[in-house]
Chain A
């Protein structure tokens, strides 16, 4: 079972470059989210989606764009990378309802120099 798949696992960008972090899930989950993990700050929600065609901002959305054209995919775009975006990024998916768990990808470690 693939679950939630993130690519790439590691990435180094120069300031001002753009890139897309990919996230795909094969569990037919309605909800998908992107988090960033920084030391001492836990996981902070960047953007989330409650279904195809619907996205919304989380706690720290600035500098990131998302789209949800299919149930399976939820890419995260950095339009102009900044050193402050150096972090570990996690994609998660879950079914409808608060009692269900969130399933996480393996993470993408991004360094912006």
Chain B
């Protein structure tokens, strides 16, 4: 079935460190891929998305590239800040419907 697998957390980094959160997916057809971020006590917000192979989504210094050959959509940021501390969810949406499939979330804590 359709699913998303993302890196287990929690992840703790020092400020200005490089961040990678791995995400791989299984899907029938050609899904759209998303990264959502959840700050403490809040709902999920879209961070970035990519809708076809080789697309790169980017926002707030975060990037992710849709890799069809490896069925991956890894999230990266070159220099994290304390304000990036949150839970990050990888998700996919199928073109045949509007259901979203989420990964389990990766908690990131950035320390000064």
| Chain A residues proximal to chain B, CB less than 8 Å | 4, 30-31, 33, 35, 40-43, 45, 48, 50, 58, 90, 92, 94, 96-99, 101-102, 104-107
| Binding site secondary structure of chain B | loop
Knowing A105-B43, A106-B42, the reply to whether A33 touches B32 (Cβ < 8 A) is: no
Chain A residues whose C-beta falls within 8 Å of the C-beta of B51 in the assembled complex: 98-99
Instruction: Name the one of B31, B45, B104 contacting A98, with C-beta atoms under 8 angstroms.
Output: B31
Chain B residues whose C-beta falls within 8 Å of the C-beta of A97 in the assembled complex: 95, 98
B:90-112 near A, CB below 8 Å: 93-100, 102-105
Inter-subunit contact B42/A101 (CB<8 Å): no
Inter-subunit contact A101/B97 (CB<8 Å): no
Shortest distance from the beta carbon of A91 to any chain B beta carbon, whole Å: 9
Inter-subunit contact A102/B103 (CB<8 Å): no
Chain B residues whose C-beta falls within 8 Å of the C-beta of A92 in the assembled complex: 44, 100
Q: List 9 A-B contacts (CB under 8 A).
A: A33-B100, A43-B89, A48-B99, A58-B99, A96-B98, A99-B32, A101-B49, A102-B93, A107-B43
B34 located at the interface, meaning its Cβ lies under 8 Å from any Cβ of chain A in the complex:
yes
Chain B residue, CB-CB nearest to A105: B43
Shortest distance from the beta carbon of B44 to any chain A beta carbon, whole Å: 4
B46 located at the interface, meaning its Cβ lies under 8 Å from any Cβ of chain A in the complex:
yes
Q: What sequence of 0s and 1s flags, for each residue 29-57 of chain B, a beta carbon within 8 Å of any chain A beta carbon?
A: 00110101000001111100101000000
Instruction: Name the one of B31, B36, B96, B99 contacting A33, with C-beta atoms under 8 angstroms.
Output: B99
Knowing A99-B32, A99-B51, A101-B34, the reply to whether A90 touches B100 (Cβ < 8 A) is: no
Instruction: Name the one of A31, A42, A96 contacting B102, with C-beta atoms under 8 angstroms.
Output: A42
Inter-subunit contact A41/B43 (CB<8 Å): no
Inter-subunit contact B43/A102 (CB<8 Å): no
Bound form: Cα–Cα A104–B34 in Å: 14
Bound form: Cα–Cα A88–B34 in Å: 21
Bound form: Cα–Cα A97–B102 in Å: 17
Closest 9 interchain pairs by CB?
A: A104-B43, A42-B104, A98-B95, A98-B93, A43-B102, A31-B98, A101-B46, A104-B44, A99-B51
Chain B residues whose C-beta falls within 8 Å of the C-beta of A31 in the assembled complex: 98
